[in-house]
Amino acid sequence: MANINKVFISGNVVADCEKKQAGETPIIEFTIAVNESRRNKQTNSYDNYANFIDCTMFGSRAKGISNSVVKGAKVFIEGHLRHSRWEKDGEKRSKVSIIVDELEFNSRENPDNAGKHAQTDEIPWN
C-alpha cells in the first residue's frame, strides 16, 4: 500500500502571516488555532482547548492571498505534513507543520479587519 500524506483542517489564523522570499519564491508562514472539545470529568461539561498548527504556503498563490491571511480569519486548509529537525544551543528540536496546497476562507471579513487587506499594492517581501 502506498503512503498517504494528506491533511484537511479548519481553524482561525492567530496572527497576520509572515511574508518571506526564498530566491524567486514567495513564502507565507502563519499559525492556526484548531479547537478541540474535551469533557471535564469534574464538572461534566465540555471545555475547548486550542491546538496551534504552524502552516507554510509557497508561490504566487501565497503572495496573492497574503494580505487576507490575517488574525481572526477562518480558513479551511488542504495540505500535507512536513517533519522538520534542527539543533539549537546544542539541543535537538523537531516539529510537524502543514505545507498548504489549498486554502479557502470560511467566512466574510471580520469588521475589525475591514480594509486591512483590501489593498492591491505590491507586497513588501523580505
Full 3-state SS string of the chain: CCCCCCEEEEEEECCCCEEEEECCEEEEEEEEEEEEEEEECCCCEEEEEEEEEEEEEECHHHHHHHHHCCCCCEEEEEEEEEEEEEEECCEEEEEEEEEEEEEEECCCCCHHHCCCCCCCCCCCCC
- pLDDT computed for residue 121 by the predictor: 39
The answer to whether 12 and 31 are in contact (CB under 8 A) is: no
d(CA 29, CA 57): 7
Give me the domains of the chain, ranges plus CATH numbers: 1-38+46-83 (2.40.50.140)
- pLDDT computed for residue 2 by the predictor: 83
Q: C-alpha grid cell for residue 30? A: 502563519
d(CA 86, CA 24): 25
The answer to whether 60 and 40 are in contact (CB under 8 A) is: no
Q: Give this prediction's pTM.
A: 0.78
pLDDT tens for the 126 residues of the chain, in order? 789 999 999 999 999 999 999 999 999 999 999 999 989 889 989 989 999 999 999 999 999 999 999 999 999 999 999 999 999 999 999 999 999 999 999 865 554 554 444 333 344 555
